[in-house]
Structure 1
Amino acid sequence: MKHLLVVLVGLVALSCGNAKIEQSTVLNPTNPKGVTGSISSDEVDSEAARVVNTVKSTANTVTTPKEIELTMNFLTSDALQGREAGSNGIAEAASFIENSFSKNNVSPYYKTYKDTLSNFYDGVAFNVIGYIPGNDATLKNEFVVIGAHYDHIGLISAEGGDTIANGANDNASGTTAVIEFAKYFGKSKTNKRSILFALFSAEEKGLLGSKHLAEKLKKENLDVYVMLNFEMIGVPMVNKDHDLYLTGYERSNLAAISNSYAGKNMVGFLPKAKEYNLFRRSDNAPFHDEFNVPSQTYSSFDFTNFGEYHKVGDEVQLMDFEHMSAIINDAIPMIEGIVNSPLKEVKYN
């Protein structure tokens, strides 16, 4: 997110039970032949529960931690030089996103996937926009915009000899989520409303990519129902009873709607997000300004769980791919419910 204040990372310690079962063998999905050794009874119960939950969730798995890791590794590689807007590095990231859209049946919304920014004057920068038309004769005229910014801040002052701000959490994590959502809907075509998958450039320059697209779509009289933005979802929140928070939580009923379709308490309120007015600090804000429809950001950066914001330490090694996979898989029914509801049920209060 743009211009956030960062505090120290909080740490959580976990402990296991002490009762031992000597030379026991436990079925482990990653080692089907079993592992032999000294384990605790608590670990046996935990492993058994994990196996059951894995089997239960298989049918609902859209993406896996390994798939997420592969995408994140590319977007955060040193070869992309921190994905600064207008750079050769971000152009490589854009081509990667284009290829993913193309091979997963996601069409370009304009003549090409790349839409050049009209408000960026330090060179050439472009958003990458994918499009899946709705399958309902009436609802297809309404649009849901699902977005994230794929740029970061490029090369910065050296720390420990490293000058590349790779931007893993900010915001390769949100970009990866949007890529996975596009893959799902590109293959399933289950959306009654039309969907725009918008990967924004120049967020770090002042939300320029989202401002450009919001203004352009407004001039085209597009019927935007809601804008769902994803930002910094690479690590889980600490000691919260929900997985994500929603910026501008109190402004709409989007959190309640999201949770009803997710079937769990997935989205909640973070007081710090309101205190620092994060509603105005990400790519949802220009869509709010232009369309005055619910336009909000989902995030798991809680001001205690990540201390590498806008530093060279925002590296892929710090990301929790299990967490990201769970977020994306849980968000699919949430998004599907919103794009398929008969009425525009998400509203500002």
Structure 2
Amino acid sequence: MRSRSLRTRLATVTATLAAATTLGAAGPVHANAPQSHACSPAVSIDSFSDALDKTTYEGTFVGNLSALAVNRDGSLAAVSDRSALFTLDPRTLRPTGVAPLADDKGAELDSEGVVVDLPHSRLRSSGGTPTGTLLISSEIGPSVRRYDREGHLLADSLPVPDALRVAPAGRAVTNGTFEGLTLLPGGRTLLASMEYALSGDSAGIVRFQTWDRGRGQDFRLSAQYGYRADSGLGVVETTALPDGRLLVLERGFTSGVGNTVRLYLADPRRATDTSGVENLTGQADVRLVKKTLLTDLVTCPTLGATAKQPQPNPLLDNIEGMTITGHGPDGLRVLLVSDDNQNAAQTTRFYRLNVRLP
């Protein structure tokens, strides 16, 4: 077995994160904020919004939202797992644009992750600012492809290890593949997180796959890491921090009870490269990604939220997307979104959090 660590990049925040420092209609919750806004010592909630729930924009249903990212012009990119790419106003969260997504054969995507990458020389906003291209993951396959902001496919899918493909081609379960997608500081390493364990791996141990980029723009397969999710939960999003650590969102659902959603701080920098390990079964010589609980969102104040189905906290729903929108005096401003599955019993809900990292 090989042991390999992710490069630690302690440089400044990436261009996308830097451009986002002014985002957010509501400011961060300060240390002396009312205790009712605290979810834990590390996390507090500023506000939530149901403004987009069961709405349409230019004939497209606004929902099924699975991932968020901050565009280079400060707007938000939001992907729907029904093959749509929305542009949202960062303050009102209202759509300002929508584009369909498809693979190289014109088939729809089960889009689950989105990353704003390097600008394309021919892509400019109306003001002449580079817009950046988007890397979008799909659970079908799974795959990661490059698009422009109008939803045009720019490149073929990145290489994917055979074991991560959906059975029978591989060992992954349907709807359990690339849920999280993030670009590490420096822009040279892309990381995708599987939602559930592969067949043959211990229950709860999911794989994080990385790709490294050389001097060109092509990503090549690189190290892979094991991460143990909590019992009954899957990994639905990963977001890179400036120091190489990750915010990891775990989620589960129990009929008649509701959702469990937990936010973790994870550090893959000393984890074992598991790309050569056929079965992850808790081996002593395999170092999994270390994680630290920041909060279980069931402990957040309700803020007057209501739920359309049983929930242990009416604020909770099928939370699936996450992005860092900037820095406040007490930590990071983090935006979450829930996937309503176009279901009358679920809600498209945005959550503005303030996260203080240990």
- Is the structural similarity TM-score above 0.5? no
Larger helix fraction of residues: 1
Larger strand fraction of residues: 2
The normalised TM-score by structure 1 is 0.29
Larger Rg: 1
